[in-house]
Amino acid sequence: MATLPATGFGPLSDIRVIEMGQLLAGPFCGQLLGDFGAEVIKIEPPGVGDPMREWGREKPHGRSLWWPVIARNKKSIEVNAREPEGQDIIRKLVAESDILLENFRPGTMEKWGLGYDELVKINPKLVMIRVSGYGQTGPYSSKAGFGAVGEAMGGLRYVVGDPSTPPSRTGISIGDTLAATFACIGGLMALHAVKRTGRGQVVDSAIYEAVLAMMESLVTEYDAGGYIRERTGAILPNVAPSNVYLTRDDRYILIAANQDSVFKRLAQAMGQPGLAADPRYATHSARGAHQAELDGIVEQWTKTMDADDLAKLLDDSGVPCGNIYRAPEMLEDAHFKAREAIVKVPHPVFGELRMQATFPKLSETPGRVSSCGPQLGEHNDEIFGSLLKLSESQQQDLRLRGIIGQRRREAA
C-alpha cells in the first residue's frame, strides 16, 4: 500500500487512488472507494473539469446536484494529460499510489504513454482499474460505449418495460454503476492479491458484461430450453400475487404474497379466507395460471383502503409489502432515519445537502461521507506541493503553460 496519512475512517484509509476519466462509470467506482476511506485524487482538465460538474435538470445557484454525490470524499487537481509534462506528473502520482482508475476509450492511455505496461515499470504493485463499454480486448473494444448501449447489449433493456411498449430504461444509469461496482470489487480483489504476490494487475470492467452478469438465467434458459424472456411490466409471469396495486388514495403499493403460506395470510387480511382454498388459487402453479384474474381481485380490495392503512394491515398480517417511494417519502420514513440511510453533508453554497449514505454498513470500520464534491482544482496546492514536492517556481511555470491548474486561491 502507498505510504500516506490515514484519513481517520474506513477500511481503505491506507489506500491512495488516482482517478482519471469522467462522467459516471469510472467516477462511481472512485466514489465507492472514497466512501470507505481511500484517498481519491481526481485528475481533471485545467479550467474545464469533469462534464459531470454541469449535469442535472435542476441547478440551483447554477450548481450541479450530481457533482456533490459522485465526487464526494474526493480531492480535485487539474492536470493536462494530453501534454508530455502532464503525463510526467501522472507518472509521479502513480509512483505514490495503489490504484489508477480510468474510463477512457481503450487505447487512450496507451496513446498518452500511460498504458499499464509503462506504469507497472514505475510501480510494480500498481492496480489499474479500467472501465469501458466493451472491455479492453475484442473487436468492439475501440468503439465508443456509453452505459445505455451496454444495457442494451447486456440484455437488460429488452426485458425492462411493459410488453406493449418498446424496450425501456430503468430511470437510472444502471449500466454505468454496475460496471463501476464490479470494477471496485475487482480492484479490491487485486489489492488483496498484491499482498500475496507483490505484483499489481489490470482490472478490466466492461459495461455490457457487468449488465450481463446480472441477467440471472436468461442465457441458460435460451441455451437449454429455447426460451426468450420478454418484457412483463410489473409482474413476473406465473408468480402471483406479486404486483403493484392501486389504493383508494391513488397511490401504489407493492404486495408480494406468492408463497402458499403468505397467500393464506393475505386472503385472511382481505376478509376472503376462502381464496386460499379455491382450486384456482390454492397452489403456486394454480395462482400463476390465473395470475391476471387474481391480480384483479387483489386490486379490487386494495382500492378500498388508503395506502398507509393498507400497509399497516399487511405488516400486521405478515404479508410482505411496500409503498412506492420517491425522494419525499424516503426523507420522512422512520426506518430510513433510524438506519441513517440518508445523511446531511456540509456544502459551501447550499449549507448542507442530503444524500444517500455509504453502503454496506461495517460494524467496526464503517464508511462515511465527509465532504461533497470539491471545487475544481481545490487540492492543487496540497498534491503538487506537499505530495509531489514541486517547487513554487516549478508549479508557476507549469501553470503559465496550462499543464496544471491555478492555485486554489486564484481559482476560487
List the catalytic residues: 176
Residues 6+ apart with CB under 8 A from 195: none
Distance CA 244, CA 299 (A): 9
Q: Quick check: bond before 346 cis, omega within 30?
A: no
Closest CA to 270 of 243, 246, 299: 299
Place of cell 496513446: 111
- ∠ Cα 408 410 412 (to 5°): 65
Count of alpha carbons within 13 angstroms of residue 65, beta-carbon side: 12
Place of cell 399487511: 314
Distance CA 55, CA 49 (A): 12
Q: What is the DSSP secondary structure assignment for residue 94, as one 8-state letter?
A: H
200 near 125, Cβ under 8 Å?
yes
16 near 99, Cβ under 8 Å?
yes
Distance CA 273, CA 289 (A): 20
Count of alpha carbons within 13 angstroms of residue 369, beta-carbon side: 26
Residues 6+ apart with CB under 8 A from 369: 35, 72, 73, 343, 345, 355, 357, 358
Residues 6+ apart with CB under 8 A from 59: 65
